[in-house]
Amino acid sequence: MFLARVFTLYPEIFPGPLSKGLYGKAMTEKIWDLKTVNIREFANDKHKTVDDTPYGGGSGMLIRPDVLASSIDQNVHSKETIIYLTPKGKLFNQSLAKKLSNTPVVNLICGSFEGIDQRIIDSRGIVEISVGDFILSGGETAAFILLDSILRLIPGVLGNNSSIDEETFENGLLEYPQYTKPQIWEEKSVPDVLLSGDHAKIKHWRLSQSEAITRDRRPDLWQKYKKD
């Protein structure tokens, strides 16, 4: 069973949508589980203070290393993966999602305020990951994105695991266009090749479409695809 453990100041947000639909069914079937750890419960003072001003000045507050370390040390077992969701982390991608889907336990630290003390990152071997080049108000949203991309790769979660093989990024390309009924809609018809029944031609058409879309929209992926 895959376990996701989320460290957050707002545990009421979870599990939210992750408890619905296919993910909820998979949770009921014990394919995966979610545990939330309220960082605030590990504060030592009566006010449950988890943050303080940064040394050297600057705007905002930082989560204290002693409070966060206490929450980690009392919940995380040796050699488990610990991830801090932050804009300055390594960019998350499909390859990393696959790797994490084969990890029994993933611990996610949801940042708040201006972030966390660097010393806790260094001392606990925490991996910093970013879900994109933009800023969020907290790490909870990023945690949902990361978990969604991981859970769907775990065997038994999706109804049709074979569909994963043809998705965007699986072969280094963006996905080709998709069509369904009706055959003609608003005077626009489904491409003839998809109606031909010739599987070789359909495969070639889909590949050529994927290549064209990737070349136009993601030159970075296109260059890597050509190199590989």
Q: Where are the domains of the chain?
A: 2-151, 168-227
Predicted local distance difference test score (pLDDT) of residue 169: 76
HSE on the CB side for 56, CA within 13 Å? 2
Predicted local distance difference test score (pLDDT) of residue 161: 62
Residue with tokens 């990737």: 214
Mean pLDDT of 113-125: 95
Residue 23 in tokens: 């993910």
Mean pLDDT of 8-37: 96
Residues 94-119 as b or e (16 or more Cβ within 10 Å = b): eebbeebbeeebbbbbbbbbebbbee
Percent of the chain's residues with pLDDT above 90: 89
Strand locations in the chain, DSSP E? 2-8, 32-38, 51-52, 62-63, 81-91, 105-110, 127-130, 184-185, 188-189
Given a cut of 80, is residue 21 above it in pLDDT? Answer: yes
Residue 188 DSSP SS3: strand
AA identity, residue 136: L
Residues in Cβ contact with 186 at an 8 Å cutoff, skipping those fewer than 6 apart? none
Given a cut of 70, is residue 164 above it in pLDDT? Answer: no
How far is Cα 39 from Cα 47, in angstroms, rounded to an integer? 13
Predicted local distance difference test score (pLDDT) of residue 167: 63
How far is Cα 148 from Cα 20, in angstroms, rounded to an integer? 12
Mean pLDDT of 145-170: 81
Mean pLDDT of 94-108: 97
Given a cut of 80, is residue 166 above it in pLDDT? Answer: no
Nearest to 72 by CA among 129, 120, 2, 144: 120
Place 185 in a pLDDT band, splitting at 50, 70 and 90: very high
Mean pLDDT of 185-209: 97
Given a cut of 80, is residue 163 above it in pLDDT? Answer: no
Predicted local distance difference test score (pLDDT) of residue 102: 96
Q: What is the mean pLDDT of the chain?
A: 94
CATH T-level assignment (fold) for domain 2-151? Alpha/beta knot (3.40.1280)
Nearest to 49 by CA among 11, 9, 90: 9
Type and span of the H or E element at 123: helix 118-123
Percent of the chain's residues with pLDDT above 70: 96
Predicted local distance difference test score (pLDDT) of residue 59: 83
Place 157 in a pLDDT band, splitting at 50, 70 and 90: very high
Of 1.20.58.220, 1.10.150.120, 1.10.1270.20, 3.40.50.720, which CATH number belongs to 168-227? 1.10.1270.20
Mean pLDDT of 18-34: 96
Say if residues 114 and 15 touch (Cβ distance below 8 Å).
no
Predicted local distance difference test score (pLDDT) of residue 14: 95
Mean pLDDT of 162-182: 81
pLDDT in tens, 58-90: 889 999 999 999 999 999 999 999 999 999 999
